Amino acid sequence: MSEQFGFETRMIHAGSRPEAVSGARQTPIFQNTSYVFQDVDHAADLFNLQDFGFIYSRLTNPTVSVLEERMASLEGGRGATCCASGHAAQLLIMQALMHPGSRVVVSTKLYGGSITQFGKTFKKFGWHGDFVDTNDLDAVDAAMTEDTKAIFVESLANPGGVVSDLEGLAKIANAHGVPLIVDNTLATPYLCRPFEWGADIVVHSTTKYMSGNGTSLGGCVVDSGTFNWAQNNRFPSLAAPEEAYHGLIFHETFGDMAMTAYLHAVGLRDLGASMAPQNAFQTILGSETLSLRMDRHCENALKIATYLEGHPAITSVSYAGLKSSSFYDLGQKYLPKGQGAVFTAQLKGGFEAGVKLVESVNLFSHLANVGDARSLVLHPASTTHRQLTPEQRSSAGAGDDIVRLSIGLETVEDLVRDLDQALST
């Protein structure tokens, strides 16, 4: 759906048409593995990628396709590929770009699971993550090598209210002939527009705000369609002949849809991390109210962050919406509608105070998720970030005295009261 329509219109309509046979208005759940071919020639055209259509739900599924079109439209990209989880999205895009010996410059300020994925598990494929403080643009430039295939950052970084300088990072990536990949999970396309600042690829964990109810794992890779994969010889998956498709060159055959075609025809085909149609359906429902929810998430988060900053048990609060944040200016530039609803607070009482807080709250849920309608709290040092070294923890903004909050959609006074009793017991 074209961008001449407003964001809210696209949230509800992009990708979705009345179902052809019944006229059903909401997207049905196509709980199908496979689709009947019209005849042998039709089947051959589908398998040779000469015709678009449904073959088998590991590659494409009608319900998942609606969500893909919607995600592409909301981000202002050319095409999207949905998959089983946010981590699957990161695996899919890296598989398209990397080969044994390839490198990727990665922010030190990432979701804990992403640090482990890039730092440990990807190493088994011979892919090297060079971790850099990506708010230091000179350090990013210095880390680029001949083998570097991408820069990977989060727009709004989990967990510490860090905002990436997307415009500056895109310039460096461009100058080195590689794409800037932005994880836009915590910002969502409503709050942050990575492609407008020069990013080439956006990835999502749709598990979070896109679905919004804590029901459905999902991930998505959105391609801007503007990166030239043939500008150098670093991206043979896109720009060299693909043997499995009779020597087809994705970049030549599909143009600005090359990455999206590759991620379905090779990525999902061979890695198999497809999105379940039921999860696509739940995420489609969530996407319809995205802007309304994000406005309220941001409003509640700013109130809670302000309350906590004034509390005697708290040393500091890292929320880009607070004037005290070193990311305040970047937050106003890149997230002008609101700076999200996930942030950290530093407790005067250290590790023990963190444990006590998560065990004393009643309304907040103590669990490892963010971007739910419910308010959530977590002590990363004793949970999500416990596999990291103390140095990795503090450079990821998750030291022993840090708690992470994900502010939900409840009545904000009730949330304040819950934190008040938990901090004073």
Ligand X SMILES: *Cc1c(COP(=O)(O)O)cnc(C)c1O
Give the contacts of 95 (CB within 8 A, at least 6 positions apart): 267, 271
Rounded CA separation 415/364 (Å):
7
Rounded CA separation 240/230 (Å):
9
> In angstroms, what is the minimal distance from the CB of 279 to ligand X?
10
> In angstroms, what is the minimal distance from the CB of 278 to ligand X?
15
> In angstroms, what is the minimal distance from the CB of 394 to ligand X?
19
> In angstroms, what is the minimal distance from the CB of 186 to ligand X?
5
Give the contacts of 175 (CB within 8 A, at least 6 positions apart): none
Nearer to ligand X, 205 or 325 (CB): 205
Separation of first and last alpha carbons in the chain: 53
Residue 152 · residue 93 · CB < 8 Å: no
Name beta bridge partners: 194.
none
Nearer to ligand X, 181 or 259 (CB): 181
> In angstroms, what is the minimal distance from the CB of 342 to ligand X?
8
Burial of residue 277 (number of CB atoms within 10 Å: 0-12, 13-18, 19+): buried
> In angstroms, what is the minimal distance from the CB of 87 to ligand X?
4
Nearer to ligand X, 59 or 202 (CB): 202
Nearer to ligand X, 202 or 422 (CB): 202
Nearer to ligand X, 168 or 214 (CB): 214
**Nearest residue to ligand X, using CB?**
86
CB atoms within 10 A of CB 421: 13
Helices (H), 310-372: 328-334, 350-360
Four-point Cα dihedral 203, 76, 339, 282, nearest 10: -60
| Distance, C-alpha 401 to centroid of its chain | 26
Write the CA distances from 159 to 236, 243, 396, integer angstroms.
35, 42, 8
> In angstroms, what is the minimal distance from the CB of 415 to ligand X?
21
Nearer to ligand X, 140 or 186 (CB): 186
- Residue 181 tokens read as 């990949």
> Residue numbers of the site for ligand X (CB under 6 A)?
85-87, 111, 113-114, 154, 158, 183, 185-186, 205, 207-208, 217, 219, 370
Residue among 412, 185, 156 nearest 302 (CA): 412
- Residue 3 tokens read as 């961008």
Residue 121 · residue 113 · CB < 8 Å: no
Nearer to ligand X, 207 or 339 (CB): 207
> In angstroms, what is the minimal distance from the CB of 90 to ligand X?
7
Nearer to ligand X, 200 or 372 (CB): 372
Nearer to ligand X, 261 or 286 (CB): 286
> In angstroms, what is the minimal distance from the CB of 77 to ligand X?
18
146: phi then psi, degrees, rounded to nearest 5: -60, -30
Write the CA distances from 147 to 128, 231, 360, integer angstroms.
10, 15, 49
